[in-house]
Chain A
């Protein structure tokens, strides 16, 4: 995964805090995009945005938590880090129930913010990887899928051929096609891919 794809979307109504966050994150090597409130973020939002949102809890209009709920309703999985200048237990609970990566109280330690963003990015990285894998798997034919499943169980070409009632040579052809489609170079990677893909197919 390339870091450059990932952006920190800052939603903060206080101009000084927004400006200083952008400067600090920019110097820290993050790409940032700034919004003064939830509405302007939502009107600009596109489905292919990746990275994480750092949102203030108290915003004019929709709060940070409401913004998160709105994005989840739009099937966006963008991870959220909520920041606030005045926290109480119910709002912290609400933030975590809404699946925030972290909840930071202002003034926060920059290392904590960094750690939270990194956690969010790694969550985002896994999500993107999974999405890419699933897209590749979707390109397989039904027969290729059968072959992949059996290969994942560690069966050899002859055993797979016997099980599926086709010739070993055809199995080998399928394997080659599968490796091409999934972009893997050897049987070891193929097995890893299959094992990694399986549990997610069950979902």
Chain B
């Protein structure tokens, strides 16, 4: 699978790639085993792999040539040209296979889910193990390494390549991805990021210089700023932070400030740090995406339920309008004397039109600004609504409605449509609970009570199976539903409505399922 590109572009990309690769090879040629490129930090394979991953395998010849030239320039082809040729084929071929596998398994390797990250890590760790084995094997076969140093050399090569790729490839992939690049730029402009960088650098200074002694002893301190950065910045933050840590470690090594570093072990710690950071980052991203899509569907679902209730309201005046219009047409066709009747009909049509417009206006207000159209709703009207909704929902089932209200209840001051929607959700819950598990004398109970001077408490209960405390705690979370077919949005929407009115909705503990809806009353007039 290759992408066709023009020869000019091919040459231009190669002219950028080769010097970068050679420079990275030179910069990372530290603490080697013998004269060979067996070092504990090898970022240049990441460059080759990402280039072949994004650009296609047609770049493989350039990669091979560059590896060969780099070995000559940086190390003077220490094993002779034949050995350099062999190792070049092993390295270049191995990187090409890794790139091909990532491309097959991940596509563009955006590293957006923990699954993608796991595949990426597994391919990189497995691939570098095999490449390292072949590389060391060739050197051993050419009698360039003695038997005893083979395991240590293999480990060093493997750690160097694996850490180099795990740290550098995500950074390169992020730089190549427009969305990620934009995310990194946004992150870089945050004041918090500067503070995070300072803390990270200060921690590294403490580990390598400030605290003295073996840097391995205090390496764990680096996890603290890394966790902070990954939790706040997600994958982008983690990628940036791990790259910075790696650069800091390498700078420490190159400056020779501290002699006798246990480099391989420190790089192993960097590998652990990198994996932790990347996984934390990708999970923070996944969680953020899930939360965003949840918010989106909540908005849609609330809109959908509201639209259903309002479709009913708006279709009534439309029906009347259509009927009056048809009547007016019929009258026009009739011979003579229809004028007074026509005027009366047109008057009614205007009334119906403004009735429809009113419903639509209220709908638009609700969705645009969340404002509601408050009106006085007397306790009797509320009771009538409850009765109508309950009868409609109960249908032919053997469920009774017990509706009780105190004598001197003040009128509510609420949006009637919204409150009816909330009541509908609550009564529907009760009816479904009673239908799911039939009980003797199944009943929905609704009580209207005075709450202080300016509120009404509406208590809705049923004698169904009741709520467990675990269910009660999660009741209002969207998408938590006890019903096999439920979306679990009804209660969340109902509570939102109650709170928009300055009221509340809560489930009360007790053997019975009982909801308390508190709504504000009209000013005493």
Contact = CB atoms under 8 A, between A and B. Distances in A.
Please indicate whether A and B come from the same complex rather than being unrelated chains.
yes
Interface of A: 14, 16-17, 19-21, 23-24, 27-28, 58, 60-63, 66, 69, 83, 85-86, 105-110
A86 B330 contact: no
Contact of A16 (B308, B316, B330, B334): B316
A60 B388 contact: yes
Contact of B323 (A21, A62, A66, A69): A21
Contacts of A66: 395-396
Size category of the B interface is 20 to 34
A16 B352 contact: yes
B327 A106 contact: no
B315 A85 contact: yes
Given A20-B323, A23-B323, A63 B395 contact: yes
Contacts of A69: 396
A69 B387 CA distance: 21
Contacts of A60: 384, 387-388, 391
B312 A110 contact: no
B416 interface: no
B391 A23 contact: no
Q: What are the 8 A-B residue pairs with the smallest beta carbon separation, nearest first?
A: A20-B323, A85-B315, A16-B320, A107-B318, A86-B312, A106-B319, A27-B330, A107-B319
Contacts of B324: 20, 23-24
Interface in B292-315: 308, 311-313, 315
B355 A16 contact: yes
A27 B311 contact: no
Given A23-B327, A107-B319, 14 more contacts: A16-B351, A20-B319, A20-B321, A20-B327, A21-B323, A28-B330, A63-B395, A83-B319, A85-B311, A85-B313, A85-B319, A106-B318, A108-B322, A109-B322
Contacts of A61: 391
B396 A19 contact: no
Nearest to A15: B320
Given A19-B348, A85-B315, A107 B308 contact: no
A146 to B, nearest CB: 47
A173 B92 CA distance: 116
Contacts of A83: 319
B320 to A, nearest CB: 4
Nearest to B318: A107
Given A19-B348, A23-B345, A27-B330, A58 B392 contact: yes
A19 B392 CA distance: 24
Nearest to B396: A66
A11 B268 CA distance: 81
B62 to A, nearest CB: 62
Interface in B347-363: 348, 351-352, 355
A112 B485 CA distance: 35
A42 B442 CA distance: 27
A91 B226 CA distance: 58
A133 to B, nearest CB: 36
A170 to B, nearest CB: 58
B485 to A, nearest CB: 12
A105 B392 CA distance: 18
B395 A24 contact: no
16 contacts: A14-B319, A16-B352, A16-B355, A19-B320, A19-B348, A20-B320, A20-B324, A27-B327, A58-B312, A60-B387, A63-B395, A69-B396, A85-B319, A107-B321, A110-B322, A110-B326
